[in-house]
Amino acid sequence: MSTAPQKAHAVERVLQQLRAKVVSGALMPGEQIRQQEMAEELGVSRVPLREALNLLADQGVLLHRPNSGYFVAKRAPNELLQISRIIQLLENELMESIEWPDDAVIEQLKDLNAQMRACATAKDWTPLVHLNSEFHLRIFSLSPHRVILEEVKRLWWLVDMFIATKMSEVEARLKTVDEHDRLIDSLVRRDRELCLRVQTEHRSSTTGGMKPRMQAWPEQAPASTAEAGS
């Protein structure tokens, strides 16, 4: 009989695997997740799978339709731009209020970026997307504005899969890592104006890389599509 920690670990593992599939494009926006097939593919029972699906639906990554099942959320370009604008405003609030990191935090950021650089040229580069989120959220956590930080985390969950479209080419991934190096340098210098400028340029680079690929996303699956036992 599984213990609570084992169950939580199983749910977390499934959660990360599903997010990786969305990020890599193995699960496309609008695509239905067939639970029996997915449980068999991931080697888990339907229980941790359903809990992970519910969590991703709560985060907005998936859309749950009663009597139809779970679908990968598809954001219209104007919705994505609205989310990006909100993130920009909130991130600026955090960056303007961060406490300067100590040497230990700087080393953590350098280590995360080094892991991203290793992933950038790897065949399976998808872990880079999670590392990218961890990198930025580690910086934002230096701010005392905890409510804003939690909202930024929630919004990042929504855009992770779209940020991944910008990183589908190795040149874009290496450019992201180089931009992170500049951001770390601005933190070491404790130059707030420079931090904000580098962060703004980095954000513009990410948003700009996402736009050309939006038109290629498939339409949302019709509501009448049903999954047996979903």
CATH of the domain at 67: 1.10.10.10
* Domain presence at residue 92: yes
* Distance from C-alpha of 162 to C-alpha of 96, rounded to nearest angstrom: 26
Instruction: Tell me: do 82 and 139 sit in the same domain.
Output: yes
Helix (H) or strand (E) holding 70: strand 69-72
Same domain (yes/no): 172, 59: no
pLDDT at 114: 97
Q: Do 102 and 126 belong together in one domain?
A: yes
The C-alpha angle 52, 55, 56, rounded to 5 degrees, equals 90
Q: Are residues 152 and 43 in the same domain?
A: no
| Count of the separate structural domains present in the chain | 2
The verdict on residue 97 lying in a domain is: yes
Let me know whether 40 and 92 are in one domain.
Answer: no
Predicted local confidence at residue 84, as pLDDT: 84
Distances (CA, A) of 164 to 80, 118, 168: 14, 16, 6
Rounded to whole angstroms, the Cα distance separating 192 from 28 reads 39
Q: Are residues 68 and 132 in the same domain?
A: no
Q: Give per-residue burial for 34-53: e unless 16+ CB within 10 Å, then b.
A: bbeebbeebebeeebbbbbb
Indicate whether 200 and 111 sit together in one domain.
Answer: yes
pLDDT tens per residue across span 41-56: 999 999 999 999 999 9
Provide the domain limits for residue 32.
4-72
Does the residue 174 lie in any domain? yes
**Nearest alpha-carbon partner for 142 in 114, 81, 183:** 183
Task: Give me 74's structure tokens.
Answer: 């598809």
pLDDT of 152 above 80: yes
Residues 118 and 67 in one domain: no
pTM of the model: 0.72
Whole-number Å distance between alpha carbons of 83 and 78? 9
Total residue length of the chain: 230
In this structure, is residue 16 part of a structural domain?
yes
Rounded mean pLDDT, 185-214: 81
Residues 102 and 166 placed together within one structural domain of the fold: yes
Same domain, 127 and 206: yes
Interatomic CA distance for residues 6 and 206, integer angstroms = 37
Same domain flag for 166 and 102: yes
- The answer to whether 206 and 166 have CB atoms below 8 angstroms apart is yes
Tell whether 221 is covered by a domain.
no
**140 and 51, same domain (yes or no):** no
Confidence of residue 137 (pLDDT cuts 50, 70, 90): very high
pLDDT at 207 over 80: no
The DSSP result for 144-155, as a single string, is S-HHHHHHHHHH
List 69's β-bridge partners, or say none.
Answer: 65
Q: Read off the pLDDT of residues 4-54 as tens digits, 9 standing for 90 and up.
A: 777 788 888 898 888 878 877 788 888 999 999 999 999 999 999 999 999
